[in-house]
Amino acid sequence: MHPIVKTVFQRLGLGVVTLFIVSLIIFAAIELLPGDFGQAVLGQAATEETVAAFRRELGLDQPAVWRYVDWIAGVAQGDLGTSFSGRASSGVDRSRPVIDLIAPRLENTLFLAGLTAVVAVPLALFLGISAALYRNSIYDRTVNALTLTTISFPEFFVAYVLILCLTSLWPIFPSLSNISADTEFAERVYRSAMPALTLTLVIVAHMMRMTRAAIINLLASPYIQMARLTGASQREVILKHALPNAWAPIATVIAFNLAYLVVGVVVVEVVFVYPGVGQLMVDAVSSRDIPVVQGCALIFAATYIVLNLVADIVGIVTNPKLLHPK
Amino acid sequence: MTKSDILLDIKGLKIEGWSDEKWHPIIKGVDLTLRRGEVMGLIGESGAGKSTLGLAAMGFTQPGCRITGGQIVFDGVDMTTLSDAQKRRYWGNRMTYVAQSAAASFNPAHRLIDQTVASTVRFGISNEATAKSDARTLYSALNLPHADTIGDRYPHQVSGGQLQRVMTAMAMSPRPDLIIFDEPTTALDVTTQVEVLRAMRKIVEEFNTAAIYITHDLAVVAQMADVIKVLRFGHEVEEADTRTMLAAPKEDYTKSLWSVRALTKPERPVQENILSVRNVSASYGKVPVLHNVSIDVPRGSTVSVVGESGSGKSTVARVITGLLPPQNGQVMFDGDPLPQALKDRTKDHKKRVQMIYQMADTAMNPRQTVREIIGRPLEFYLGLTGRAKDDRVRELLSLIELDDRFIDRLPSELSGGQKQRICIARALAAEPELIICDEVTSALDQIVQEGILKLLMRLQSELNLSYLFITHDISTVRAISDHVVVMQLGRVVEQGTKDSVFQPPHDPYTDLLLSSVPEMDPDWLSNLKLPELT
């Protein structure tokens, strides 16, 4: 077996272990949340018997260890449990499996993240490489200043500025990203344009600056001087000699930002009323819908782990010392 | 001599470098004339400007340097008047460069053969297939093993000596008029250096290529060059053809370069063993590195451990200092066994054995002053504080021939030789009986080296110190040792008094090691017959 395949399996194994530890932390953290669902739903006036009966229906009267084992065993079989909302005690059983709640929202989130990534990653790479190529020029300074400006403002501010410009002054895009499962693809892209644009402005700076720094960092290497002494032009030096050795740090930053696109964009979702998974989780936290909170948290953790794994693999396959051992 | 004979003509060249917020002169008006097919050796200490001059011969200046005067006329064209884009038409085409550290100068991301032919293909000198097959021919002319396939490897997959030869092939691939060799063998072991020197000389002769060969090693330049130019502080000291220069150097500075190798050591009475390493075997993880090594160090004497990289000589030091506990065997110090691991040793054990390292730069905390660096062991081992500590630091400074002014300096404000002296003072501060010197002079110029070696010898006779001197430099061994231990692949192949090891008959490996050391004789390499190792 090629050593890289082995490494990938090792990392995957470690990822599963990490995910398991994270599940413990999530469960423990939720245990520590004040208040409980029964009280929150039934209100102050509920009698103790009603609350106890409701808790029994939800299984909240079981010891924490049992509930954890029950939950994690379900997760291992792909079952995230059932939401606390709309249970039988409220008359009709309208409760839904957590997975049915999360799946459409997650799909929307991934769509927005994908759309943003398709624009932001190539843009950041292009800006970073060209800034390194024309280092210290007016172009370089302008790009640096602009990206720094956009990253320095809070997301909601960037969002409102964009709404002002692109929906009020020059109405090009809709200000509400009202999408559902049967919205057509082109229409989806059009309606998601505003949040995607906002997120692009927020994440491009970080990736662009890392790309530029990783390349410039290598320009002092002896092999870069050697490349110049064989008559390579500046463009060739950057693209052929510096960039291939700079992928590992760039990939790490890209992975970090992509993970942010999945797990950290709730503010932008709220501004554009985008039905993403971030809003779902915030709602679930405020209504103490524990199975949904746990499900979201676990998916977020898995996103980080998988994207970092991908970044690690990129780091390995672009490093000849690891790819072609002695 | 007709005009077209002259390939490179540098006149009154001046170069400045930017540091400490101002421009400093590096090259202060140097003339250089090189004919087609001629090899010129440029020698001098570090800071003499030889590398800067070598690069300038290509019209190249490093970032932070600028040419402020003079001409660099290559084949009728003044390089100083060309734009970068115009100069790139020459680099990698009619003039090529061989760097000091081949390991750092190859791009780790590309295969060797692609890098070898890159400029040849770029300038359309030949197409890729032809260039690659020519590269394989060059590899085999340079005695590279597996010449047909070695180019398919990545730089980290071949050894330093092989990389240096691949780089020579890369420099030769476009069939340039001029090659600049910038200390190409300095980083190599002595036995590898011979191979590389031979290969380079053969190929330069074969294609009648002109070359500038930069080095600080006189014996090496004597093998390579037709003419030698000596540089110091950015000025030319003198220039003459190689034989004249070796036989009768005119200037005092050149003579002082020549005399470094004449250092000798008076014999000392033999005393009892302060250290004996008995039948030690050790390994890094599962990789065995030392096999049954035994070494004795008599009190007040210098025992040199010589060998190539990978011979295990530094590992011996790690075992003695307790950094690497051995699997078998014992280290006896002053008649008693030393605990194997560092954590089991008492303060007194540690105090009696001190170490000095190759890179004085990295062995000192850059944010501590000389006072703190030397004061630390005084406080830790001897409990000195305040006034008493300060006085002792000053005493130690005078012992290593530096005056009080240095006491508040940071390492960055010291020269390489001064840094190494501070490291020696730090070792002495603990009042040790044995000092392990790990390649302490390898990173220094010859003249500075001589100063450090003389200092170490003086301290030895004044303080009755014992040294375990680890080095790969045979001339240093000749200069300072009483006993010599020759190591190869983790084993001691020969040991004894200096005279008995250096007089024939030798062990075959010792023979190879000794005969690989270049001598100050221009015919040495041509007449050399290396012993075959079985």
Report chain A's mean pLDDT, rounded to a whole number. Answer: 87
Whether the CB of A229 is below 8 Å from some CB of chain B: the reply is yes
Going by pLDDT thresholds of 50, 70 and 90, the confidence category of residue B210 is: very high
- Whether ipTM exceeds 0.85: no
Mean pLDDT for A103-130 is 93
Going by pLDDT thresholds of 50, 70 and 90, the confidence category of residue B143 is: confident
Nearest to B88 among A231, A244, A245 (CB): A231
pLDDT at B101: 81
User: Cβ separation of B92 and A232 shorter than 8 Å?
Assistant: yes
Q: What single DSSP character describes residue B453?
A: H
List, as one string, the DSSP characters of A205-252: HHHHHHHHHHHHHHTTSHHHHHHHHTT--HHHIIIIIIGGGTHHHHHH
Whether the CB of A244 is below 8 Å from some CB of chain B: the reply is yes
Q: Could you report the per-residue pLDDT of A281-324, keeping only the tens digit for each?
A: 888 888 778 888 889 999 999 999 999 989 988 888 888 888 88
Q: How far apart are CA B111 and CA A51, in angstroms?
A: 72
User: Cβ separation of B97 and A223 shorter than 8 Å?
Assistant: no
pLDDT at B260: 59
Whether the CB of B97 is below 8 Å from some CB of chain A: the reply is yes
Q: Could you report the per-residue pLDDT of A169-204, keeping only the tens digit for each?
A: 888 888 888 887 777 888 888 989 999 999 999 999
Is pLDDT at B354 greater than 90 in this prediction? yes
Whether the CB of B471 is below 8 Å from some CB of chain A: the reply is no
pLDDT at B262: 66
Nearest to B58 among A229, A244, A321 (CB): A229
Bond into B505 cis (ω within 30): yes
A222 chain-B contacts, CB cut-off 8 A:
99, 101, 104-105
Going by pLDDT thresholds of 50, 70 and 90, the confidence category of residue A88 is: low
Dihedral angle over CA of A250, A253, A259, A264, nearest 10 = -150
Phi-psi region of B402 (alpha: psi -120 to 50; beta: other; left: phi over 0): beta
Q: How far apart are CA A242 and CA B502, in angstroms?
A: 49
Is pLDDT at A5 greater than 90 in this prediction? no
Is pLDDT at A37 greater than 70 in this prediction? no
Nearest to A233 among B88, B107, B157 (CB): B88
Report which residue type is found at A239: L
In the structure encoding, which two tokens stand for residue B84, read together?
A: 């970068």
B122 chain-A contacts, CB cut-off 8 A:
230-232
Lowest-confidence pick of A47-56, A157-166, A245-254, B460-469? A47-56
- The residue among B68, B67, B63, B151 whose CA lies nearest residue A228 is B63
Is pLDDT at B534 greater than 50 in this prediction? no
- B311 φ/ψ angles, rounded to the nearest 5 degrees: -85, -10
Mean pLDDT for A49-66 is 80
Helix axes A138-152, A185-218, angle to 10 degrees: 120
Q: B38-47, B260-269, B518-527 — which one is most confidently predicted on average? A: B38-47
Nearest to B104 among A222, A319, A326 (CB): A222
Going by pLDDT thresholds of 50, 70 and 90, the confidence category of residue B468 is: very high
Nearest Cα of chain B lies from the Cα of A233 at a distance, in angstroms, of: 7
Going by pLDDT thresholds of 50, 70 and 90, the confidence category of residue B201 is: confident
| Strand B336-337 to B328-333 pairing | antiparallel
Whether the CB of A233 is below 8 Å from some CB of chain B: the reply is yes
CB B309 within 8 A of CB B337: no
Higher pLDDT, A3 or B199: B199
- The residue among A203, A224, A197 whose CA lies nearest residue A127 is A203
CATH class of residue range A106-319: mainly alpha
Lowest-confidence pick of A8-22, A61-75, A208-222? A61-75
User: Cβ separation of B123 and A227 shorter than 8 Å?
Assistant: no
Q: How far apart are CA B386 and CA B408, in angstroms?
A: 15
Mean pLDDT for B308-312 is 81
Higher pLDDT, A53 or A244: A244
Q: Could you report the per-residue pLDDT of A236-275, keeping only the tens digit for each?
A: 999 999 999 999 999 999 999 999 999 888 888 888 888 8
Contacts of A152 (CB under 8 A, 6+ apart): none
**Helix segments in B28-159, DSSP class H:** 50-56, 84-88, 102-105, 112-122, 128-141
Q: How far apart are CA B242 and CA B201, in angstroms?
A: 15
Is pLDDT at B350 greater than 80 in this prediction? yes
Q: How many CA atoms lie within 13 A of B203 on its CB side?
A: 28
Whether the CB of B105 is below 8 Å from some CB of chain A: the reply is yes
Nearest Cα of chain B lies from the Cα of A218 at a distance, in angstroms, of: 11
Report chain B's mean pLDDT, rounded to a whole number. Answer: 87
Q: Could you report the per-residue pLDDT of B61-87, keeping only the tens digit for each?
A: 888 889 998 999 998 899 999 998 999
User: Cβ separation of B106 and A226 shorter than 8 Å?
Assistant: yes
Is pLDDT at B207 greater than 80 in this prediction? yes
pLDDT at A92: 64
Is pLDDT at B139 greater than 80 in this prediction? yes
Nearest to B122 among A229, A231, A321 (CB): A231
For B280-294, the three-class secondary structure string (H helix, E strand, C coil) is EEEEECCEEEEEEEE
pLDDT at B183: 85
State what percent of residues in chain B have pLDDT above 70: 97
Q: How far apart are CA A191 and CA A185, in angstroms?
A: 10
Whether the CB of B160 is below 8 Å from some CB of chain A: the reply is no
Please tell me whether residue B8 adopts helix, strand or coil conformation. strand
Nearest CA in chain B to A321: B156
Going by pLDDT thresholds of 50, 70 and 90, the confidence category of residue B532 is: low
What is the C-alpha R_g of chain A? 24
Is pLDDT at B280 greater than 70 in this prediction? yes
Whether the CB of A225 is below 8 Å from some CB of chain B: the reply is yes
Mutate to test the interface with A, among B88, B97, B153 (most CBs of A within 10 A): B88
Going by pLDDT thresholds of 50, 70 and 90, the confidence category of residue A3 is: confident
Nearest to A230 among B85, B104, B118 (CB): B118
Is pLDDT at B1 greater than 50 in this prediction? no
